[in-house]
Amino acid sequence: MLTDIEIALGAELKNIKEVAAKVGVKEEELELYGNHMAKFTDSYIDSVSNNKDGKLILVTAINPTPAGEGKTTVTIGLGDALSRLGKKTMIALREPSLGPCFGVKGGAAGGGYSQVVPMEKLNLHFTGDFHAITSANNLLAACLDNHLLQGNALGIDPNRIVLKRCLDMNDRALRNIVIGMGKRMDGVVREDHFVITVATEVMAILCLSEDIFDLKKRLGRMIVAYTYANEPVTAEQLGCVGAMTALLKDAIRPNLIQTLEGNPAVVHGGPFANIAHGCNSVRATRLALKTADYVVTEAGFGADLGAEKFLDIKCRLAGLKPDMTVIVATVRALKYNGGVAKADLDAENIDALSKGIVNLGKHIENIKKFGLPVVVTLNRFVSDTDAEIEYVKKYCEDMGVKLTLSEVWAKGGEGGIPLAEEVLRILDSEESHYAPIYDTELPIKEKMATLAREIYGADGVVYSKEAENAIAKIEAMGYGNLPVCVAKTQYSLSDDPTLLGRPSGFKMNIREVYVSAGAGFVVMISGSIMTMPGLPKSPAAERIDIDDNGDITGLF
């Protein structure tokens, strides 16, 4: 059996100009990065701004497990299937982070015969967007520390600096560090911290900005520290926002690549859904909607994270109206939620399936609360038995949704035809009544309580003293009317990764709260989630190499 990268490297890629032409984009409307990657020009983005929007289809999933779900794979396969049915379709995805690529999760290009390519370039440096974001964030950090050394005219309290440096890599040793050691001109000695690039506010800002001018305004609003008088200090006050914007001038423009079947895929931005808002950029989604009749996009991890933030943050702030949602599940993942060990998932186990399927049920309920039509697709494995599939089908029917089978990993777009046909049927016959699940004018704690109760199924929320104080300060500064972005484990509806299925009788524990004033939301750090991940005992980096032909191996 071929690996993902072997399939990708063996594919015959079309020239990206030919891919763009499928949806009416001309060569002069692209900036080429070789023959197979491009960025859209600002003039093209402006030229389609008044076009009618296509249909927006969100792909989400149950809570992820070691058994795998294949959300991105299904997203790509559904796009290919719609194209096979003669529909003018574009896919809108996030860019992969290097951290998971060299860690345990792998890349984000799909899998099998449902991938976007060139997979190896996408998963590594791509067009340099993440490097630009890293540089912009760290330029701001450098200017801040230089300001401290050069007299600290703003009166910044070194113990109340909230901006963190970043690196697009899993490196736990950088979570808590001391900088400025050495001589006086080496800087002010203070504690500092690193986060992974995809967790930075700069990443969130780039993904939520309308254009380069909106980006610049949002960067200026970033709160980087507080003074001795407890007043916020913004990036604009440090005087480097223009330089940061210059670094991001190209990064804010969406990228175009292709699926294995030669269909267009817009790939741009990449915030994690467990520690950020987990959606590709507003510019990419809007561009796709103005260019194609059908846009298939994904949001990170389970529907309690990526989909909730897509619907409560991205769509609300950008004025987008999704038309329907696809929820991806696997029999194996549902059995894992029902208590079966990973090594035993191949064996038929209806009892475990019946216990674990409640996780799917909760996600179906949640999506319906946003007023969206829903279809469930089962990413099929060879070990799935007819009895198990029939059980899931009956469960979905009882919940008022249809189950389709997806075989896009093995068959590409052909394996997604049943799902595509059901998606088209729903779009023709059911209307979206999308609405966010809470009113932003509610106090911060009430918004968090709504998410805890309605989305996670919690009995309440417990705040640390530090979180309580932070909320009071945020509301006093006038940011109480922003949406809430919860950072929590992806493995459970709760903030405890060991509570699988559909847990109950628990409370959400909020240990830290801060405002991302530039991005436009309030972040709640729940449980033990880390904004700088670490590598596992045996990271994927140990298996990635270059062979004698100069090809990359081991990337997945």
CA distances from 17 to 27, 30, 319 (A): 6, 8, 31
CA distance 94 to 204: 12
Catalytic hit among 17, 22, 88, 105: 105
> Measured in whole angstroms, how far is the alpha carbon of residue 469 from the centre of its chain?
29
Establish whether 126 is a catalytic residue: no
Establish whether 72 is a catalytic residue: no
Nearest to 194 by CA among 163, 225, 222, 224: 163
Cα angle for residues 304, 437, 222 (degrees, 5° grid): 80
Establish whether 409 is a catalytic residue: yes
Catalytic hit among 14, 39, 55, 94: 94
437 neighbors 451 (Cβ within 8 angstroms): yes
Nearest to 116 by CA among 5, 26, 20, 31: 5
SS3 content of the chain, % helix, strand, coil (to 5): 40, 20, 40
Q: Which residues of 378-394 are buried (b: 16+ CB within 10 A; e: fewer)?
A: bbbbeebeeebbebbbe
Beta strands in 421-481 (DSSP E): 460-463
* Tokens of residue 387, six digits: 């009895």
CA distance 183 to 160: 23
Give the torsion sign (CA, 73, 134, 235, 210): negative
Helices then strands, each counted (H, E), the chain? 22, 25
DSSP state at residue 532: S
531 neighbors 514 (Cβ within 8 angstroms): no
Catalytic hit among 73, 285, 325, 531: 73
Catalytic hit among 273, 303, 420, 517: 273
Nearest to 113 by CA among 330, 544, 385, 416: 416
Establish whether 105 is a catalytic residue: yes
Establish whether 71 is a catalytic residue: yes
CA distance 353 to 356: 5
Establish whether 217 is a catalytic residue: no
Establish whether 301 is a catalytic residue: yes
Establish whether 470 is a catalytic residue: no
* Tokens of residue 253, six digits: 């423009």
422 neighbors 402 (Cβ within 8 angstroms): yes
44 neighbors 29 (Cβ within 8 angstroms): yes
Nearest to 294 by CA among 13, 43, 56, 19: 56
Catalytic hit among 14, 39, 55, 71: 71
531 neighbors 199 (Cβ within 8 angstroms): yes
Catalytic hit among 194, 409, 506, 521: 409
What residues are annotated to the active site?
71, 73, 94, 105, 273, 301, 381, 409
